[in-house]
Structure 1
């Protein structure tokens, strides 16, 4: 009797789970059947012949767009470029981009890069690449379009906040060789500006620290670590940089689908240490990824005052996997967390002291048209009739002439603004946020002496 009761109890536990899995499988097969029916209807009824491979690739890309901006299906062409082992040099623009509400947005133009020199700014929306609309394309497709051979020029159509006209920028692709660190001595404080977490970034920070500490001698009062507009980079360098100012403990951990499976990165015990000097970290809305890891670690360990505005909020981990001989996927598999378990993704790092940057610039408005996006601007837009080859060539020629006129008008505006900004040079001693950070560190120093 006991065996029968036990068997019935086990059955009651197992059966619902089994039933749910069975229902889930049935639902999946129904959806796949629906997908197959839709493809069949398109193939047989669409008024033009379709490429089935292209159709399925498009469906797969759309699937990943329902996940997050950083996950993507890598088709044959994109995956091949990622896997190529070539000794040739490829040119870049020096911008970090993301997608917001389906629109391509510049997160950060890297300091001294072709993009920054051309006049591109954080928050600029890229609506055209080489006169083609970016509407409907994935982030990876957009990035792929912007890559090219060294020395070649790309034209970007930009919509800037507060403006209605599209601006056009010609940017020459160059090998991106940025100086990761720029440093200054301001009021007996060392200000270290890190533009990107590239290889040996932490070593460059140490070199700058030693140089200025030697120059200041006994006057040395503390450090301002400037991570504003820093888009991130190598995780190892984020750990290395944090380890300069921390003695021990966790720098960052990752949380995957199973919260129990965590990868933890600890402070490195070896290397140069600055454990006692007052420290402020500057961040803003363009500080992302590795920048947020460092700011979060120093904040959680109460090692630094974080000053500025809320950071970008890029706290996810991606991995690339090959799924067929010539295709792959890039998938978000985990999230970064600060030492105290705070998630960075979409939340960012909130400063201890909120200080906005003061802008004294005013944009001159030059209105030519309403700047709106029309059906003809849409990628793969449908033409009113089935065109002959001659009609298609004539239409493309007309569109090209019209765009050329718009570009020429926009260049007149850009030329005026660039000439106005050309002679302006950065000065740490006049940087409002730097000065505020130093004031807070001075206050800390005074309290320590009391």
Structure 2
């Protein structure tokens, strides 16, 4: 190990010498390099002294490997929340997650002001089904406080064997006390894409996570939606739902964006040296949806790859971004493999949108702010119109003469409409009485989602203005 470290230091010293101006720079450059190298060796010597003291004088025998790994973790904790040392278990776990199948609770978490915060529960996971919500603050894991626990330590505590139970205690805004959720770890198979047709002509595509073949899933969904809408006049708009999508693979973010853009930049990254930028461009080949109006839904739990896609769509004026301001995770991480079992996740750059906007700690601000409102609340608080219309007046004229048969059918239809409205109202009132857990598990229907319906309205108005300007 010491020999390898020595070679690394010499390699760094050589690189610094070259960057200063070459091997023939002279004594001034060499002195600077030697000063940096000496300073680093002195600091490493300090670490060696402390390690020796602990190994030789601590009242019990210690595991040196454990001490060194602890020191490395401490070093990484001085950086940003997304940089971390990956031990054997964490490294294996990270590789599993990008494949779309892994064991666990299904929680995306972050740390803010020393608190462990839920970014989003992954759909259909144990955490999602139990009713844990974005913004919940995890204060206990198996009845042990999370105060002073690092993000990586907390994640490690939540991991375990499939089938094992774990108790998560959370504090929720505007609610008193600690809510305890008993979860059972399980293999989580994520189907990243769900889709449906809304109002006969509008495609709704929800992407839950950017994992391998996510773009392929969206393409298949769009093709099927086009077939289903053919009989009703064709596809008139697409709603891409990235709400509570925590991100994932950058390559998939580029592929998803490429479906909706003809060409141009998707995202660029700026590292330590602002002059060295990596630019990722739209893929010009493959399936494209360039003509239909597009609305992208985001919220405060839309992060990372979700922000890359929505930022590119917004900058290129391809569609409307709707919802609430996104999470703001705009840093780039790379996983450096140390050996077959361990690695380091390190923040190396920041993402920028095609127009050079930085996402980190800012997020994507939607073009249209639409609050997430429960459909039950909207339906129950909608005012019934009680105005008198021309058709209510006695002996009113009709545009055409209504036959007795037509009148009969009209009255039957109106009676059925009133009955249907009453039944819906009863159902909504009944659902409102259910507890949160049951409400959380009600099958999602985009046709009853307030934000989705607002997206449809915007697309319809866009279509109307386009016809008016012809």
Q: Does 1:321 align with 2:333?
A: no
Q: Structure 1-normalised TM-score? A: 0.74
Please list every run of 5 or more consecutive structure 2 residues that lacks an aligned counterpart in the other structure: 1-24, 378-433
User: What is the DSSP-based 3-state SS (H/G/I as helix, E as strand, rest coil) of the residue aligned with 1:206?
Assistant: helix
CA drift of 1:295 comes to: 0.7
CA drift of 1:90 comes to: 5.4
C-alpha distance in structure 2 between counterparts of 1:127 and 1:36, whole Å: 36
Partner residue of 2:243?
Answer: 228
Match of 2:260 among 245, 254, 258: 245
Q: Does 1:284 align with 2:299?
A: yes
Q: Does 1:331 align with 2:346?
A: yes
C-alpha distance in structure 1 between counterparts of 2:305 and 2:251, whole Å: 9
Match of 1:98 among 106, 110, 118: 110
Aligned ranges 1:50-65 → 2 under 5 Å: 54-65=66-77
Q: Does 1:431 align with 2:444?
A: no
Aligned ranges 1:169-248 → 2 under 5 Å: 169-187=181-199, 188-217=201-230, 218-248=233-263
C-alpha distance in structure 2 between counterparts of 1:268 and 1:71, whole Å: 30
CA drift of 1:60 comes to: 2.6
CA drift of 1:305 comes to: 0.8
- Structure 2 CA distance for partners of 1:14 and 1:131, relative to 1, 3 Å: farther
User: What is the DSSP-based 3-state SS (H/G/I as helix, E as strand, rest coil) of the residue aligned with 1:148?
Assistant: coil
Q: Answer whether contact 2:374 2:450 (CA < 8 A) is retained.
A: no
- Structure 2 CA distance for partners of 1:64 and 1:353, relative to 1, 3 Å: same
Q: Answer whether contact 2:324 2:366 (CA < 8 A) is retained.
A: yes
Aligned ranges 1:55-204 → 2 under 5 Å: 55-75=67-87, 78=90, 91-187=103-199, 188-204=201-217
Range 303-312 or range 73-82, more displaced: 73-82
Range 184-193 or range 23-32, more displaced: 23-32
Range 278-287 or range 265-274, more displaced: 265-274
C-alpha distance in structure 2 between counterparts of 1:66 and 1:111, whole Å: 32
C-alpha distance in structure 2 between counterparts of 1:178 and 1:15, whole Å: 60
Q: Answer whether contact 1:321 1:329 (CA < 8 A) is retained.
A: yes
CA drift of 1:32 comes to: 4.7
Q: Answer whether contact 1:131 1:155 (CA < 8 A) is retained.
A: yes
Q: Answer whether contact 2:87 2:341 (CA < 8 A) is retained.
A: yes
Partner residue of 1:442?
Answer: 460
CA drift of 1:227 comes to: 0.5
User: What is the DSSP-based 3-state SS (H/G/I as helix, E as strand, rest coil) of the residue aligned with 1:252?
Assistant: strand
- Structure 2 CA distance for partners of 1:118 and 1:148, relative to 1, 3 Å: same
Over aligned residues, Cα RMSD in angstroms?
3.3
Q: Answer whether contact 2:195 2:203 (CA < 8 A) is retained.
A: yes
C-alpha distance in structure 2 between counterparts of 1:38 and 1:132, whole Å: 30
Larger RCO (CA under 8 A, 6+ residues apart)? 1
Q: Answer whether contact 1:278 1:441 (CA < 8 A) is retained.
A: yes
CA drift of 1:329 comes to: 2.3
Q: Answer whether contact 1:90 1:149 (CA < 8 A) is retained.
A: no
User: What is the DSSP-based 3-state SS (H/G/I as helix, E as strand, rest coil) of the residue aligned with 1:313?
Assistant: coil
Q: Which has the greater radius of gyration?
A: 2
CA drift of 1:14 comes to: 7.5
Aligned residues: 382
C-alpha distance in structure 2 between counterparts of 1:77 and 1:433, whole Å: 40
Write the deviation string for residues 337-359 of structure 1: whole angstroms up to 9, x where unpaired: 22222222222111112222125
CA drift of 1:304 comes to: 0.9
Please list every run of 5 or more consecutive structure 1 residues that lacks an aligned counterpart in the other structure: 1-12, 363-415
C-alpha distance in structure 1 between counterparts of 2:339 and 2:292, whole Å: 53
Write the deviation string for residues 9-40 of structure 1: whole angstroms up to 9, x where unpaired: xxxx9787666656655655555565566667
Range 300-309 or range 132-141, more displaced: 132-141
- Structure 2 CA distance for partners of 1:16 and 1:435, relative to 1, 3 Å: farther
- Structure 2 CA distance for partners of 1:82 and 1:198, relative to 1, 3 Å: closer
Write the deviation string for residues 112-153 of structure 1: whole angstroms up to 9, x where unpaired: 111110111111122222233333333233223322232222
C-alpha distance in structure 2 between counterparts of 1:189 and 1:317, whole Å: 34
Match of 2:368 among 353, 370, 381: 353
C-alpha distance in structure 1 between counterparts of 2:118 and 2:189, whole Å: 19
C-alpha distance in structure 2 between counterparts of 1:285 and 1:422, whole Å: 19
Q: Answer whether contact 2:130 2:437 (CA < 8 A) is retained.
A: no
Range 426-435 or range 267-276, more displaced: 426-435
- Structure 2 CA distance for partners of 1:165 and 1:18, relative to 1, 3 Å: farther
